[in-house]
Structure 1
Amino acid sequence: MGSETFDQRMERACRDREIPGAVLVAGDISGSFRYEKAFGYRSLKDPAKPDPMPLDATMWLASCTKLMGTIAAMQCVERGQLNLDDDITAILPEIGEQKILKGFEQGPDGKDKPILVNRTKVITLRHLLTHSSGLGYDIFNPDLMRYRATEGVSPTLTAVKSMKDSYTFPLLFEPGESWEYSVGIDWAAWAVERVTKMSVPDYMEKHIWGPLGIESMSFHPKTNPACMEKLTDMSERSGGAHHLFGVPADPEGKVSYTDNRVWGLEPDGFASGAGGFGAPLDYQKILQSICANDEKLLKRSTVEEMFKPQLSEASRKIWLARLAIPEVNQTFGGFPAGIRSDWGLGGCLIMEDLPGLTRKGTMTWGGYPNLQWFCDRKAGLSGILGCQTTIPGDLKVIGLYQEWQKELYKKYGKEKL
């Protein structure tokens, strides 16, 4: 396989059912360098006649939506409608009412009784955007799962009642004192709704998607033909998920079609942390705008703020401790061991040069069904890999993404980096 090109490697990965298919899009800020290709299949529902992946295929973007939610919030900061360091609970009283979950004790009936204490520190928009507010995800955090059990609720990514009800639960720590991947950006976007008097999709259509000529994005794909007609089916790797960490239990298992979409096509509400659908081809337009700092979405000074390290020392310590757990690191996209990193407003910041790859200050993140993106402002390069497999932290996809990045920087960067 020594002479195999990257494109041939991708084709082989799809042919051998290492992955179902993928869309890869990248470009530089000048527009002179472009990579956009689709590999494999949009659907494996009929193995005898798999449906080829179109370049403009749409996908569940999951946590890739968080960057869009952050941009919406930062636009409101620019207008003076929100402030990064004000008490956000004046606008979001639902989370202001929540106490901090400190553990459990047994009640007289032998059942768990949550130990809840009052919060003493202010929750800010900056906390919400950097996962340092004290909020979490009840589907991912064992303590919140246990708390939900006391309510008779089974955590799920799909809202049980309304979206806001499903995302209202106790804090896990004092704001700014730790780090927990969270529903904070969902709440930040609901703050946008309240100060602008516009729904999340209406707001994004007017202020993010529209200015960039994006038509494929939606929170309810069944209402948007441009999204629904090219929506990619889901696949799942055989062997199921790891019982503790939720990553694939058998990294070498083959993928096949599944009707488990994880996130519903008609959710009750608009989740700016996980609910977006759209084409990676269009998502790249957002990355391009931010990378070029072209002011189509945000002022230059706002983008500069987004790319500054935001975590307190205490929060950063916990974030890095999470990354040191291999399976957790895998879930977050597979960062090099021991890498220096922080959080900006919109994604993780890589705080060192990676030889032959991204430069210091690169922002990156991804989405649950194995999407990954990066925005390297120093090199002037950004890109996204879109895939749709239902178990996050897939080593096959991570490996191909990392090979693709090497290929991109080799082609683009010899004389520029």
Structure 2
Amino acid sequence: MANETFEQRMERACRDKEIPGAVLIADDKTGKFRYEKVFGNRSLKDPSKSDPMTIDSTMWLASCSKFPTSVAAMQCVERGSLKLDDDVTGILPELKGLKILKKFDDGDEEPTMVENTKPITLRHLLTHSSGLSYDVFNPVMARYRVTVDKVTPDLKIKQPMEISMKVPLLFEPGTSWEYSVGIDWAGKMVERVSGMELEAYLNKNVWGPLGTSNSITFHPKSHPTTFQKLTDMSLRQGGITPFGTTASPEAPVEYTEDRAWNLEAPDCFGGAGLFGALPDYQNLLNSICADDGKILKKETVDHMFQDHLSAASKAAMNEKLVIPAMRDVYGVEEGMEVTFGLGGMIYLKDVEGGRKAGTMNWGGYPNLIWFCDRKTGLSGISGTQICPPGDPKFKQLFALWEQELYKSVAKGKL
């Protein structure tokens, strides 16, 4: 609508059930600017009742868990207890001897398996170039799990990592790219070299030094304050595509009883298991963006924000992004070339009027997106709780918000 401000657009989006509600938080590295606003409702369960979103509403962070877990792994690298390019099977014997699932087409009675000749490294785990995958997102691996392992792929994790996330490889490490359970295994490495459960490790070494409110946890039902503030999930009506994204991006959202997943997961799944309030998460993004040294040394952060993919892995990643649905899931503009750093996706070109080359970003399944632009000194996170992932409507609203932030930068208001 003409002359509509961004905030008015967000209010209209919530009123018209384009989205249920959202939390948006951003900081600049100087500490002089903070954008912090909430819109809409925490739940659409009862239309007759107002249930406004609050800044400290608990959200399932899903794959936003990957960044703090990667930070934890890099702290261990700083201490020398982990090395980026060592074979991980000395710490993760479960991954020793994994074969490569070369072929398992419809109609094949048995999978074609070949030996792997290359070691899996921590660098591979952190950049999704290890050959591991998510069985629920890869149809070939899903077929293998059902036929061979007698396991039904499901994002609702009911078994420990050693069972639920031990899958064959899809390629030799470092030769391609597949979104994977690698960072879950990296979190397990942190546990084994530190002697601490990942939640306790993060509380002591990440959230504690940042002075957070202790909202972030892998075990929300064991933290009553966090659990009481849990945001309900909403579902975009109209079905899904073969890629698992919405088939009807203009359809309204509605309440779903599928409130949140993995509320009682049997492990600290560092790739997808965290719940918490976005202000606490933003404290980490801002610390990394500002190079304040509270969590990691500046040279470590510099290294994380570099290109860590082989040419073959980078080409495979960008080939996936030719598909519009995959661009929506990964939050990438058409034509943008990207790579992967140690903790998230890296933009290789400036976005006109927006984030600079070298910006890291990623997101979470129920439509959360974060970014960290160290060149501009700006970081932020926006979240809602909508399924399926890669929601085009939410992506459009996030883009509008990001434009507003960078306009403020250009005008010198940050």
Please state which band the TM-score falls in when normalised by the shorter chain.
Answer: over 0.9
- 2:231–2:385: 8 Å Cα contact kept in structure 1? yes
- Tell me which residue corresponds to 1:25: 25
Change beyond 3 A, Cα 1:330–1:73: same
Match of 2:130 in 1: 133
Q: CA deviation at 1:146?
A: 0.7
Task: Tell me the alpha carbon deviations over residues 43-95 of structure 1, each in whole angstroms, 9 at most, x when there is no partner.
Answer: 11101113000111110000000001100100000000000011111111111
Correspondence for 2:113: 116
Question: Deviation string for 1:204-226 (max 9, x for gaps)?
Answer: 11001111122110001111123
Equivalent residue number for residue 175 of structure 2: 177
Q: Which residue of 1 aligns with 2:384?
A: 387
Q: TM-score, normalised by structure 1?
A: 0.96
Q: Give the equivalent residue in structure 2 for 1:66.
A: 66
2:230 aligned residue? 231
Instruction: Quote the Cα distance in structure 2 between the aligned partners of 1:264 and 1:69.
Output: 17
On the 8 A contact 1:134/1:180 being kept in 2, the answer is yes
Note if 1:367 corresponds to 2:364. yes
The reply to whether residue 209 of structure 1 matches residue 207 of structure 2 is yes
The aligned residue for residue 34 of structure 1 is 34
Whether the aligned pair in 2 keeps the contact of 1:43 and 1:233 (CA below 8 Å) is: yes
Q: 1:82-119: CA deviations, max 9, x gaps?
A: 0001111111111123111011389xxx8631221111
1:267 aligns with 2:275: no
Of 247, 250, 258, which residue of structure 2 is paired with 1:249? 247
Does the CA contact (< 8 Å) of 1:262 and 1:390 recur in 2? no
Deviation at 1:161, TM superposition (A): 2.5
Q: Secondary structure at the match of 1:353?
A: coil
- Tell me, yes or no, if the aligned pair for 2:220 and 2:227 is still in contact at 8 Å: yes
The answer (yes or no) to whether the contact 2:234–2:386 under 8 Å persists in 1 is yes
Mapped to 2, the partners of 1:356 and 1:159 lie a distance apart of 41
Matching residue's letter, 2:230:
L
Q: Which residue of 2 aligns with 1:102?
A: 102
Instruction: Name the CA distance, whole Å, in 2 between partners of 1:262 and 1:318.
Output: 32
Pairs within 5 Å for 1:141-220: 141-150=138-147, 151-214=149-212, 215-220=214-219
- Offset of 1:160 from its aligned partner? 3.8
Q: Given that residues 219 and 264 in structure 2 are in contact (C-alpha distance below 8 angstroms), is that contact kept between their aligned partners in structure 1?
A: yes
RMSD over equivalenced CA pairs, Å: 1.4
Q: Of the candidates 259, 280, 283, which is equivalent to residue 281 of structure 2?
A: 283
| More displaced stretch, 174-183 vs 216-225 | 216-225
Paired position in structure 2 for 1:406 = 403
Residue 247 of structure 2 aligns with an amino acid whose one-letter code is A
The superposition leaves residues 391-416 of structure 1 with CA deviations (integer Å, 9 ceiling, x where unpaired) of: 10101100000000001111233348
| Contact 1:379–1:416, Cα closer than 8 Å, also in 2 | no
Aligned pair 1:300/2:291, yes or no? no
- The unaligned stretches of length 5 or more in structure 2 are none
Q: Deviations over 1:232-273 (max 9, x none)?
A: 11000111221x100011101111111113512111111100
Q: Distance in 2 between matches of 1:126 and 1:154?
A: 29
For structure 1, list consecutive stretches of 5 or more residues without a partner in the other structure: none
1:240 aligned counterpart, secondary structure: coil
Contact 1:260 1:390 in 2 (8 A): no
2:303 corresponds to which letter in structure 1? Answer: E
User: Which residue of the partner structure matches residue 80 of structure 1?
Assistant: 80
Distance 1:38 1:262 in 2: 20
Residue pairs, 1:316-335, within 5 angstroms: 316-333=314-331, 335=332
CA 1:77–1:112: 2 relative to 1, 3 Å: same
Residues of 1 paired with 2:274 and 2:105: CA distance? 39
TM-score by length of 2: 0.97
Instruction: Tell me how far apart the structure 2 counterparts of residues 290 and 370 of structure 1 sit (CA, whole Å).
Output: 22
Specify the code of the residue in structure 2 equivalent to 1:64: C
Offset from partner CA, 1:264-312 (integer Å, 9 cap, x none): 2111111100000011111100100000011111011100100001100
1:36-55 mapped onto 2 (5 Å cutoff)? 36-55=36-55
Q: Tell me how many residue pairs correspond in the alignment.
A: 412
Select 2:310's aligned residue among 309, 312, 329: 312
Question: What SS does the corresponding residue of 1:23 show, helix, strand or coil?
Answer: strand
Work out which of the residue numbers 319, 338, 345 in structure 2 matches 1:341.
338
* 8 Å CA contact retained: 2:97, 2:116: no
Equivalents in 2 of 1:123, 1:169: separation in Å? 14
| CA distance in 2 between partners of 1:159 and 1:301 (Å) | 36
Give the match's secondary structure for 1:222.
Answer: helix
Distance 2:14 2:109 in 1: 47
State the alpha-carbon separation in 2 of the partners of residues 282 and 57 from structure 1: 11
Verify the 8 A CA contact 2:105 2:140 in the aligned structure 1. no
- Structure 1 distance, partners of 2:321, 2:108, is 34
Structure 1 residue 135, shift from structure 2 partner: 0.3
The residue type equivalent to 2:226 in the other structure is C
